[in-house]
Structure 1
Amino acid sequence: MKVNVEKCVKDYQEAPLLNSLKDYSQMDIVCFDVPGHVRAQGVEVLNDYFGENIMKMDINSSPLMDNVSNPRTIIKDSQNMLAKAYGADEAFFITNGTTGAIHIMILSTINQGDKILIPRNIHKSVINALILSGGHPIFIQPEFDNSLGISLNVSLNCIKDALDKHKDIKAVFLLNPTYYGACSDIEEIVKLCHSKGVLVLVDEAHGAHFNFNNDLPISAMNAKADMSAVSIHKTGGALTQASALLVNSKNIDVNKVQQTINMIQSTSASYLLMASIDGARLNLETNGESQLSRALNLSRYAKYKINKIKGIKVISKEMLENNGVESIDETKLCINVRGLGLTGFEVYDLLYQNYNVQVELGDIYNILALISIGTTKSDVDKLIKALDSISKSNMSNEKIKYIDIKQINPIVKLKPRDAFYKNKESVILEESINRVCGESIMAYPPGIPIIAPGEIVTKEIIEYIKTLKANNAYLTDMKDKSLNTIVVIKD
């Protein structure tokens, strides 16, 4: 089928890549290029499971469909629209998740030996980016709520003190929001950093929706941060793994950013993922305000109902009287279950196994449920009913579990890159005290390192790992999956 340009020009203007991909998939083209399934002609099971439309849109770069490594037409137009939607100067499609966007963000700004200020509750992708770049992390602790057992966000004063102490910091890395929805005073932090000539890089994986409703916290781009990595798939509606890198270009070498993207990202970037970003952006611009208002109303309804359940409370900004929390993303229901005598891990499992309810995560004291643009009232009512049932079944437990959760201040002996390339050995966990760790260990989700390469193993860290193991936390990234041993640097 030949594309009718006049017919699709309006659609093209609204979603260039999404609509062009659809038109291209309907053209009568004989394919002698990749992918090898040739529109599923060679793999019928994929056609049966995914459908003919999806398979025909799984294409590789072609003269008509532009190339993400050097976008000039359709992809360029779509990325420009994405930048405009987010109030950025530039936007780039990233198809290997916000992990890839974070790697690109750091590699394009942080050179070997450059110091970067980082909160301890960062995602593991930041540590891995420093292994790649050779950057030198200076860790700061976010504020912490002991009664709730969660890390919050960093305070303006904490950033100020660190910049005063380390005059040669090149960049500050922020979370907007944290996994639990806590946002710092990002506008004032950006102003402070820029007054000192320091870049601001932001992990906005869970804030892709912020720019589209005024009742949500401010986005990194609107706060004038230099770069932000956003998971369009997490809260914006795109397909899983579809993310974006947003840039305010005043202090950033955009050409180096594109070069870094070409170094890190596949030359066969998925058109399905890129087109889903284009479609999600169009939806957010068109329907985002109303959809997010509905999500916020559902979240407030859920909070009201859940707070009436014995032993359970939804965390709110009013409960977090702390300098590290300027605002809260209300679409994230952080539900404290400590009063049930159960851990969040146990409630997570009960919801899934007994009630067919899947929440985002469980930790020692909490579960996290995300209310998104696709959530319905029926979904929320099922969650409320399940939590009420769990409460009634467990309130006979007289002993309420108390686990002392502490913030662990890492002692950095080696830069992550140096530690990564050192010779290593495995030793018994209990015998690793005062050794330099050679691997990352973390609970996933959220993927925040308990210890990372180059840090000293302490008794406190070992005890925390044992606590997580005893409570069936899902620990990952270590060589010994049973965690009886740990990888350390050879003396």
Structure 2
Amino acid sequence: MTTSTAPPANVRPPTEPQLIAPYAEALRAHSETDWLRLNVPGHSAAPHRFGALAELVGSAPLALDVPPLLDGIDLGPGSPLDRALVLAAQAWGARRTWFLTNGASQGNRMATLVSRALGETLVVQRSVHSSVIDGLVLSGQRAAFVQPSVDPSLGIAHGITADDLADALAAHPGAAAAYVVTPSYFGAVADVRALAEVSHRAGVPLIVDEAWGAHFGFHPDLPANALAQGADIVVSSTHKLGGSLTQSAMLHLADGPFADVLEPLVDRVFHLTQSTSASSLLLASLDTARQTLANSADAIATSIEAADAMRAAVRAAGRFSVVSDDFGRFADIAAVDPLRVAINTRTGGIRGHEARWQLMKHHQILVEVATDAAVVAVVGAGSAPDTARFVQALHALPDLLAPSAAPPRLRLPEPGPVRMTTREAFLAPSRVVPADRAVGRISADTLSAYPPGIPNVLPGEVITPELVDFLHRTLTAPTGYVRGAADPDLATFRVVDTPAHR
């Protein structure tokens, strides 16, 4: 395992300015002044007056919780916030970076709205996060979907190949942009360089939802980030493995062939979508996360070693298998995120949803994702979890599946035919009908088995029997949840109210 801090070509060396966190430091200095706060927020940083809140989060967050437009923090050119944004752009290799306080979901909606200025059709990987579909509702664009590869034995989607993207762009010569997601929930990394080359040859920018790859490029044993591979806009969910607070994220713009056109568009859409009361706590956490990532090669090496130890122990015990060991047979997978530990639980006699529930309830261990066949544990960049505790708990799980039962070849439902654009269906008159009467009707909602939040049906698509069955089976799992459902039990579906069905 490489632990040297000397970076190879795909890793940006830390510079002296990366040692500071200007926004976080200015915020801390402001909190240490004895202010008479007659402005918002209403708690006025007075823990003795707002005891329940102070007891919940502590008095320090109250003092750090300040409104925007304060001199010496975020007001005016060259402010600490401006300097923090410049440092973030330098750390990720961007022309410009925006701090987001509504998660990578905000970044995906931003990028989709930006693309609408470039054309009416967006070429989109079908397994993008539901927030991209929300963006299509806002933009009104038509989507030309590119199907990802799917592992039928596990029922999980990976990525798309450059050839598949090239075919889709050739079929839609007036496309606005290409939109892909990498890495996947399971750590599969696409060949972004090849995807960027294909997009640029077609004359369109490449937008990458790199929500799960904020840590990429900060250690030689991690994949290079999407900006370094030629992507034009990159959405980064910094809180996931990068160490910032939940709901904080970044959007990066590359200094590439489309930068002059994209930059003013991104800036305008940012102001359209960002709260006018952006959380200073979230902004400061982004600043410190960048500071930490840029100076943590040794700590990240420890994290990689911990994840490697988990996989090695699972292989050695022989009961379960490691999902990424089988990635080599998929043409769309170019690399693997070593901080994602995906375990095939079915080989060990237990379904993934049940394993996740058992680990939480009986071992006080939280894993990120569960499917019918697998669980995914994530190791934050710089963290050092108790690997032995996880492995011991994993192998203490009960064997609930019959030994003679062959693992089924799980199948994600094929999308139904498209009858309307996403926006048309979302805004059309709709009604809620029982599940059995929804089959054959046009969905007015985005429905996603969650996690991972990849849409299974979109507004404008026909609801199929296979889709209804898949979503109902998702709900039977201990931790199953369908985002966007008209009711939590999925007894009903919201469909477009067409004259033919009245």
TM-score normalised over the length of structure 2:
0.91
| Amino acid corresponding to residue 54 of structure 1 in structure 2 | P
Pairing partner for 1:297 from 289, 300, 305: 305
Name the Cα RMSD after superposition: 2.1
- Spell out the pairing of 1:21-170 with structure 2 (5 A cutoff): 21-41=27-47, 42-67=49-74, 72-111=78-117, 114-170=120-176
Looking at structure 2, the residues matched to 240 and 365 of structure 1 have their Cα atoms a distance apart, in angstroms, of 27
| Amino acid corresponding to residue 368 of structure 2 in structure 1 | E
2:176 alignment partner, SS class = strand
What does residue 278 of structure 1 align with? 287
What does residue 319 of structure 2 align with? 311
Asked whether the 8 Å contact 2:367–2:375 carries over to 1, the reply is yes
Provide runs of 4+ in structure 1 moved above 4 Å. Answer: 10-13, 393-398
- Spell out the pairing of 1:3-14 with structure 2 (5 A cutoff): 14=20
Looking at structure 1, the residues matched to 84 and 61 of structure 2 have their Cα atoms a distance apart, in angstroms, of 20
Deviation for aligned residue 1:334: 0.9
Deviation for aligned residue 1:357: 0.8
Asked whether the 8 Å contact 1:144–1:407 carries over to 2, the reply is no
Answer yes or no: is 1:488 the counterpart of 2:491.
no
Looking at structure 2, the residues matched to 326 and 214 of structure 1 have their Cα atoms a distance apart, in angstroms, of 16
Q: In the TM superposition, what whole-angstrom CA distance separates every residue of 1:237-264 from its partner, at most 9, and x where no partner exists?
A: 1111110110014414322212211111
Asked whether the 8 Å contact 1:58–1:270 carries over to 2, the reply is yes
Answer yes or no: is 1:244 the counterpart of 2:250.
yes
Is the alpha carbon distance of 1:286 and 1:481 closer, same or farther for their aligned partners in structure 2, counting shifts above 3 Å? same
Looking at structure 2, the residues matched to 71 and 214 of structure 1 have their Cα atoms a distance apart, in angstroms, of 35
Deviation for aligned residue 1:28: 2.5
1:82 alignment partner, SS class = helix
Asked whether the 8 Å contact 2:369–2:377 carries over to 1, the reply is yes
Asked whether the 8 Å contact 1:118–1:172 carries over to 2, the reply is yes
Deviation for aligned residue 1:338: 1.2
Deviation for aligned residue 1:402: 2.4
Answer yes or no: is 1:185 the counterpart of 2:191.
yes
Answer yes or no: is 1:389 the counterpart of 2:396.
yes
Asked whether the 8 Å contact 1:113–1:134 carries over to 2, the reply is no
Deviation for aligned residue 1:360: 0.3
Which is further off, 368-377 or 28-37?
Answer: 368-377
Is the alpha carbon distance of 1:322 and 1:484 closer, same or farther for their aligned partners in structure 2, counting shifts above 3 Å? same
Give aligned-pair identity as a percent.
28
Pairing partner for 1:219 from 200, 213, 225: 225
| Amino acid corresponding to residue 304 of structure 1 in structure 2 | A
Q: How many residue pairs align between the two structures?
A: 478
Looking at structure 1, the residues matched to 180 and 77 of structure 2 have their Cα atoms a distance apart, in angstroms, of 29
Deviation for aligned residue 1:12: 10
Q: In the TM superposition, what whole-angstrom CA distance separates every residue of 1:394-433 from its partner, at most 9, and x where no partner exists?
A: 4775535526323513422111111111011122222222
Which is further off, 241-250 or 460-469?
Answer: 460-469
Pairing partner for 2:268 from 256, 259, 263: 259
2:212 alignment partner, SS class = coil
What does residue 357 of structure 2 align with? 349
| Amino acid corresponding to residue 89 of structure 1 in structure 2 | R
Deviation for aligned residue 1:319: 4.1
Answer yes or no: is 1:233 the counterpart of 2:242.
no
Looking at structure 2, the residues matched to 65 and 364 of structure 1 have their Cα atoms a distance apart, in angstroms, of 51
Looking at structure 1, the residues matched to 140 and 128 of structure 2 have their Cα atoms a distance apart, in angstroms, of 17
Asked whether the 8 Å contact 1:97–1:231 carries over to 2, the reply is yes
What does residue 364 of structure 1 align with? 372
Looking at structure 1, the residues matched to 266 and 125 of structure 2 have their Cα atoms a distance apart, in angstroms, of 23
Asked whether the 8 Å contact 1:336–1:366 carries over to 2, the reply is yes
Answer yes or no: is 1:332 the counterpart of 2:340.
yes
Looking at structure 2, the residues matched to 46 and 466 of structure 1 have their Cα atoms a distance apart, in angstroms, of 39
Which is further off, 233-242 or 397-406?
Answer: 397-406
Looking at structure 2, the residues matched to 460 and 112 of structure 1 have their Cα atoms a distance apart, in angstroms, of 36
Q: In the TM superposition, what whole-angstrom CA distance separates every residue of 1:46-81 from its partner, at most 9, and x where no partner exists?
A: 22332222211111124424448x764111111000
| Amino acid corresponding to residue 347 of structure 2 in structure 1 | G
Deviation for aligned residue 1:103: 1.1
Is the alpha carbon distance of 1:290 and 1:410 closer, same or farther for their aligned partners in structure 2, counting shifts above 3 Å? farther
Answer yes or no: is 1:423 the counterpart of 2:429.
yes
What does residue 3 of structure 1 align with? none
Looking at structure 2, the residues matched to 225 and 325 of structure 1 have their Cα atoms a distance apart, in angstroms, of 17
| Amino acid corresponding to residue 366 of structure 1 in structure 2 | A
Asked whether the 8 Å contact 1:113–1:136 carries over to 2, the reply is no
What does residue 466 of structure 1 align with? 472
1:320 alignment partner, SS class = helix
TM-score normalised over the length of structure 1:
0.92
Asked whether the 8 Å contact 1:211–1:219 carries over to 2, the reply is yes
Is the alpha carbon distance of 1:179 and 1:71 closer, same or farther for their aligned partners in structure 2, counting shifts above 3 Å? farther
Asked whether the 8 Å contact 1:79–1:93 carries over to 2, the reply is yes
- Which runs of 5 or more structure 1 residues have no equivalent in the other structure? 1-9
- Spell out the pairing of 1:392-471 with structure 2 (5 A cutoff): 393-394=399-400, 398-399=404-405, 402=408, 404-471=410-477
Looking at structure 1, the residues matched to 400 and 488 of structure 2 have their Cα atoms a distance apart, in angstroms, of 31
Is the alpha carbon distance of 1:44 and 1:304 closer, same or farther for their aligned partners in structure 2, counting shifts above 3 Å? same
Asked whether the 8 Å contact 2:109–2:135 carries over to 1, the reply is yes
Looking at structure 2, the residues matched to 63 and 485 of structure 1 have their Cα atoms a distance apart, in angstroms, of 49
1:324 alignment partner, SS class = coil
Asked whether the 8 Å contact 1:419–1:438 carries over to 2, the reply is yes
- Which runs of 5 or more structure 2 residues have no equivalent in the other structure? 1-15
Looking at structure 2, the residues matched to 226 and 461 of structure 1 have their Cα atoms a distance apart, in angstroms, of 34
